[in-house]
């Protein structure tokens, strides 16, 4: 069984980050070793106030313990980090803790603006972390920031999507899956660039007029599990998009309260079929 170190935050309420990643990777047949970057009373998508306990000291002690005990991981996945200092801690740890697959979700912004508490310092820190990655999964806003561009000026189309994916791959020397890009009112696409195959691809799904926290974490978890099972980048991204779309549509049809996230649990049994084909 593959073993993945998942360096993400842990909300106690709401389906996001480790609350999503752990069950999804377990269903994919991967041992998920959770290393919280912060423990939160809830995620930030619709709850306030949110109580946050950052875990940098514990992370540093854990990295030292892994090294001393010679614990190895097949994959390392990173997501929400509390700031540049924590990003630098993870970046330094990746110098010692290598893996066959490193997936970095450069969580810092969306909808044209930074998340609360982040600024240009986080861009620099996550850019350094992306240099360590085999695959990165930014959204359109994070893509622009990583490339030093204005996130509010892009007029997205298929050609720009391909150009941005290629620029990211060249800048950071890794494969790219750019998520959550709307090219039309009724469609959401993800674009990808596979460096080994020198191939750009684009995958589409229907747009649902609702905002659910944690869908990016769900996508990246399925992507990571599929890659660990030997799928190509395009096939892994397709499995991730199909499962995420299925869960979002089911949650929307049920009229569930968006701030609690997508109700993926009843559909976990369908994930195996996607990963096998």
Dihedral of the alpha carbons of 156, 43, 92, 94, in degrees to the nearest 10: -70
Indicate the average pLDDT of the chain: 95
Each residue of 78-117: pLDDT tens digit?
A: 999 999 999 999 999 999 998 999 999 999 999 999 998 9
Position 108 scores a pLDDT of 97
- Identify whether the C-beta of residue 23 lies closer than 8 Å to the C-beta of residue 268: yes
What tokens appear for 134 in the block?
Answer: 């085999």
Position 174 scores a pLDDT of 98
Indicate the pTM of the whole model: 0.96
- How confident is the model over 4-21, as a mean pLDDT? 97
- Identify whether the C-beta of residue 14 lies closer than 8 Å to the C-beta of residue 47: yes
- Identify whether the C-beta of residue 174 lies closer than 8 Å to the C-beta of residue 214: no
Portion of the chain with pLDDT greater than 70, in percent? 100
Residue 219 has pLDDT above 90, yes or no: yes
- Identify whether the C-beta of residue 164 lies closer than 8 Å to the C-beta of residue 122: no
SS3 17: coil
Portion of the chain with pLDDT greater than 90, in percent? 89
Nearest to 249 by CA among 215, 203, 202: 215
pLDDT confidence bin for 154, thresholds 50/70/90: confident
Each residue of 25-48: pLDDT tens digit?
A: 999 999 999 999 999 999 988 899
The partner residues of 187 in beta bridges, in order of sequence, read: 184, 206
What tokens appear for 85 in the block?
Answer: 């200092």
């Amino acid at each position: 069984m593959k073993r993945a170190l998942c360096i993400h935050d842990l909300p106690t309420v709401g389906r996001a980050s480790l609350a999503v990643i752990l069950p999804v990777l377990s269903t994919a047949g991967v041992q998920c070793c959770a290393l919280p970057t912060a423990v939160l009373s809830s995620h930030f998508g619709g709850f306030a106030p949110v109580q946050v306990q950052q875990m940098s000291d514990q992370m540093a002690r854990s990295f030292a313990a892994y090294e001393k005990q010679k614990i190895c991981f097949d994959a390392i996945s990173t997501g929400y980090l509390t700031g540049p200092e924590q990003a630098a801690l993870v970046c330094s740890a990746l110098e010692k803790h290598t893996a066959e697959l490193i997936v970095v979700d450069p969580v810092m912004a969306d909808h044209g603006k930074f998340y609360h508490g982040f600024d240009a310092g986080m861009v620099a820190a996550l850019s350094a972390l992306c240099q360590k990655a085999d695959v990165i999964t930014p959204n359109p806003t994070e893509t622009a920031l990583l490339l030093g561009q204005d996130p509010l000026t892009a007029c997205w189309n298929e050609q720009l999507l391909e150009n941005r994916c290629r620029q990211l791959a060249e800048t950071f020397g890794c494969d790219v899956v750019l998520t959550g890009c709307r090219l039309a009112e009724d469609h959401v696409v993800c674009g990808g660039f596979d460096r080994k195959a020198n191939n750009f691809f684009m995958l589409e799904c229907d747009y649902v007029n609702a905002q659910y926290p944690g869908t990016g974490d769900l996508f990246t978890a399925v992507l990571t599990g599929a890659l660990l099972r030997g799928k190509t980048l395009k096939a892994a991204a397709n499995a991730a998009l199909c499962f995420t779309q299925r869960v979002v549509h089911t949650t929307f049809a049920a009229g569930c309260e968006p701030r609690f996230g997508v109700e993926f649990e009843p559909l976990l049994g369908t994930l195996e079929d996607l990963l096998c084909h």
